[in-house]
Structure 1
């Protein structure tokens, strides 16, 4: 059994004991059973957490979500009774207590979601002091518990600046890839079923959860793309790769097809390449993210290219005469 599974079992047992002891009638057998169960220090800690959460429920009494959950718990518990040690015990109160505690656990641990639209960037300050900088058209879900700090990058790209906490590892999931860090700064971009991870400073462990799991440890200035045919750690041009965080896109002898694809991430009216002859032209320069017109003007000035506007509003690039 994993540590996480064992902890889940203890939490469930703690909620059940809390509900049972808050019934209108508690039997001697209940008290003895609880005493035996609580002798385990881990069980005692789990029960104390449930008590703390129940006390905290008072502070959330006015929250619409908690109010709805509590009302539902009471409605579902009304009128039900069961026999315990020869006594009829009303389940309305016990059921409501159990469901409300579970609801409170869910409320406190449910993921918080953050997204950006096309062309938008956003900085999210987390409760522990860590920060997430979301790039265009990106989405993350954040879940903090007492044991861990978990973020799921469901789409796009994000820069993570993590505050160190040895007791709670910071884990980023992106497809089949898991990045574990303490105090560090790193960039993660979804790529196929995996991700590209670039380490700016600190240290991270990258693991790919596939049929044959693989792992890599990155040093500052290194990157790994887990969706590659043969993932390996290579050197990264960190300033160029992370310039998006300051609203810039940096290209260094980048094929125009790759550069255009990157620029298009920031626009609802993407550039289209209809001439395969120009796809391998190499582009170098620093451009403002989202400035499609400036990018196209630079390309047509520097390279033998022509730009036209199609009826649907797209900018079409082709080779010049």
Structure 2
């Protein structure tokens, strides 16, 4: 038997055992037979792959390609008993057959083309080390989808903010998509934050090219210390306060002559119990200071002391800042 044939046989056997062991009734003979079959390390690995595929099925089922594959396999399969998973869901054996097909060369290729997603909850930050040595720092309430191929490294910033520290590789440009904006880099460090339909891009070091897909004149080449917000009415390159704008990566929020309303909105990104400013007289007043991200109490105390505000807790958990009675 060829190596390819041996692998195919193990794959089919693994899918068959997976179906048997998830039926409503599993016989003692089945358990013993599976134990004997699984003693072979190659068989054990094949079975683990089938289990991993099924664990991923909840997500894959939403993908049109996998849905079509599963539907075709189920339609072609002969009527069979319906195994029951530990979760209580019933699946046709034909679906297991579809998973087996997906483990083949074409399925492995299809799986490798799917992006890997990383996300943070409100108030959480996360550092992701990518396979090429590049690094992503995800800010609060953010999500990225990463897909690497032989000729391209692609990341989609679905929402939120991220700092990218990119390893140089001229043969594989590193491209970040954020709304209608594309940021292309080879080896560099830059910050991207979703803004409307586009993004704000700040270059820390190196060089990046920024492009807005829908605009004929929407191309900018940034140098270190520069930024551009592509969603602005007339986007232009401006000088960035890099230390202040990127201080979030070390857990701090830095405000320099920032309108209080904007500062409140920024602080709220890190809390599930937001601040509500009910004193319009100070909303446009500029404030400067450094606060720990997520330190709502410290920020509220500072504003209360400076502007004689009263802080009360609403029933839904919001902190309401209002002027003196």
TM-score (norm 1): 0.71
For the structure 1 residues 223 and 310, does the alpha-carbon distance in structure 2 shift closer, same or farther, using more than 3 Å as the test?
A: same
- Work out which of the residue numbers 163, 169, 172 in structure 2 matches 1:168: 172
Paired residues of 1:178 and 1:207 also in contact (CA < 8 A): yes
Q: CA deviation at 1:307?
A: 1.7
Give the structure 2 partner of residue 63 of structure 1.
Answer: 49
Paired residues of 1:278 and 1:318 also in contact (CA < 8 A): no
- 1:122-137 paired onto structure 2 within 5 Å: 122-137=126-141
Inter-partner Cα distance in structure 1 for 2:294 and 2:102: 51
Please say if 1:246 is aligned against 2:250: yes
Higher strand share: 1
- 1:77-156 paired onto structure 2 within 5 Å: 100-156=104-160
Please say if 1:190 is aligned against 2:176: no
Give the structure 1 partner of residue 277 of structure 2.
Answer: 273
Structure 2 gaps of 5+ residues are 1-43, 58-65, 79-99
Give the structure 1 partner of residue 302 of structure 2.
Answer: 298
Q: CA deviation at 1:171?
A: 0.3
Q: CA deviation at 1:313?
A: 2.1
For the structure 1 residues 99 and 59, does the alpha-carbon distance in structure 2 shift closer, same or farther, using more than 3 Å as the test?
A: closer
Paired residue secondary structure (1:63): helix
Inter-partner Cα distance in structure 1 for 2:189 and 2:75: 47
CA RMSD of aligned residues (A): 2.6
Q: CA deviation at 1:309?
A: 1.9
Q: How many residues align?
A: 248
Inter-partner Cα distance in structure 1 for 2:45 and 2:227: 45
For the structure 1 residues 162 and 280, does the alpha-carbon distance in structure 2 shift closer, same or farther, using more than 3 Å as the test?
A: same
Give the structure 1 partner of residue 86 of structure 2.
Answer: none
Please say if 1:204 is aligned against 2:208: yes
For the structure 1 residues 195 and 203, does the alpha-carbon distance in structure 2 shift closer, same or farther, using more than 3 Å as the test?
A: same
Inter-partner Cα distance in structure 2 for 1:77 and 1:100: 18
For the structure 1 residues 62 and 156, does the alpha-carbon distance in structure 2 shift closer, same or farther, using more than 3 Å as the test?
A: same
For the structure 1 residues 258 and 106, does the alpha-carbon distance in structure 2 shift closer, same or farther, using more than 3 Å as the test?
A: same
TM-score (norm 2): 0.70
Inter-partner Cα distance in structure 1 for 2:318 and 2:102: 57
Structure 1 gaps of 5+ residues are 1-57, 80-95
Paired residues of 2:278 and 2:323 also in contact (CA < 8 A): no
Give the structure 1 partner of residue 222 of structure 2.
Answer: 218
